[in-house]
Amino acid sequence: MKHSLCIGAYPGKDAVYHLEKVKEHGFDGLEYYAWWNLGDLKQLAKEQERIGVGISATCTRFISLVDESQRDDYLEGARQTIEAARILGVKSVISQTGNVLDGVPRDTQRANMVETLKRCAPLFEEAGIVLEVEPLNGLVDHMGHFLQRSDESVDVIDQVGSPNVKLVFDVYHQQITEGNVTRNAVGYLDRINHYHIADNPGRKQPGTGELNYVNILRAIKDTGFSGFIGLECGYTIDTDLAVEQYKNDILAKL
């Protein structure tokens, strides 16, 4: 397994600072979501080469997947994101789904999403990049978000039927939405490209809440998973200290 930090781990610090911290901690990548805020992408690519680690995941522009009227905008945003990812060497692109549309049957919205993802799939296949759909919890953080459950998310991925359209499985979100996280995190492995982790409640660093991350990550590791585990969390203590505790108290026990 590889590990990534997420932008915001060091509040007020830019991408280059975060990349240097990724390197310092012996991690493998940085998740930077709004690539359009990075400025000169070619210059950042040079900084990545200098530091020796790079951005491992970014996001599509935040355009609804369930609204058919926004399909062309979503596809154009996907093309722009693929070009940015090409410059930066990013191989994973995360997409939210948008919120539920009032007055539109859920089956129709799901079908709209599947169709848009099917049209995106050849673009990502050609680029050698994985588009990751992310279910989010609607109870605490993302009320109204369309995709929330693992089973429905997997069904969407299966309908799209592309090796370059998968899921990012966020353990924090799925603990809130449905629980059963270890079984789902492992059982849906072939549809998952990478994982996000944070503890619950509070969405802080692993070890601060109810989730047993030694057991969860051990189960994922035992499958032979070789992708990214992203620390998408806040921190209750100094970030450097929290990351060291995570490595010593959790990773060292896997």
- Per-residue pLDDT tens digits of the chain, which is 254 residues long: 999 999 999 999 999 999 999 999 999 999 999 999 999 999 999 999 999 999 999 999 999 999 999 999 999 999 999 999 999 999 999 999 999 999 999 999 999 999 999 999 999 999 999 999 999 999 999 999 999 999 999 999 999 999 999 999 999 999 999 999 999 999 999 999 999 999 999 999 999 999 999 999 999 999 999 999 999 999 999 999 999 999 999 999 99
Distances in Å between the Cα of 212 and the Cα atoms of 71, 199, 200, 206 are 40, 9, 10, 8
Strand partners, 204: 234
Beta strands in 72-191 (DSSP E): 92-95, 130-133, 165-170
Unique residue bearing structure tokens 């189960």: 219
Rounded to an integer, what distance in angstroms lies between the CA atom of residue 144 and that of residue 136? 10
Shortest CA distance to 146 belongs to which of 187, 108, 175, 201? 108
Model pLDDT, residue 107: 98
Supply the angle between the helices 106-127 and 150-160 in degrees, to the nearest 10. Answer: 60
Architecture category of domain 2-253 in CATH = Alpha-Beta Barrel (3.20)
* Catalytic residue ranges: 134, 232
Unique residue bearing structure tokens 């040079």: 46
Model pLDDT, residue 119: 98
Model pLDDT, residue 244: 98
Model pLDDT, residue 112: 98
Question: Please, are residues 175 and 211 in contact by the beta-carbon 8 Å criterion?
Answer: yes
Model pLDDT, residue 83: 98
Model pLDDT, residue 176: 98
Model pLDDT, residue 167: 98
Say which DSSP state 201 is in.
Answer: T
Measured over the CA atoms of residue 197, residue 203, residue 208 and residue 211, the dihedral's sign is negative
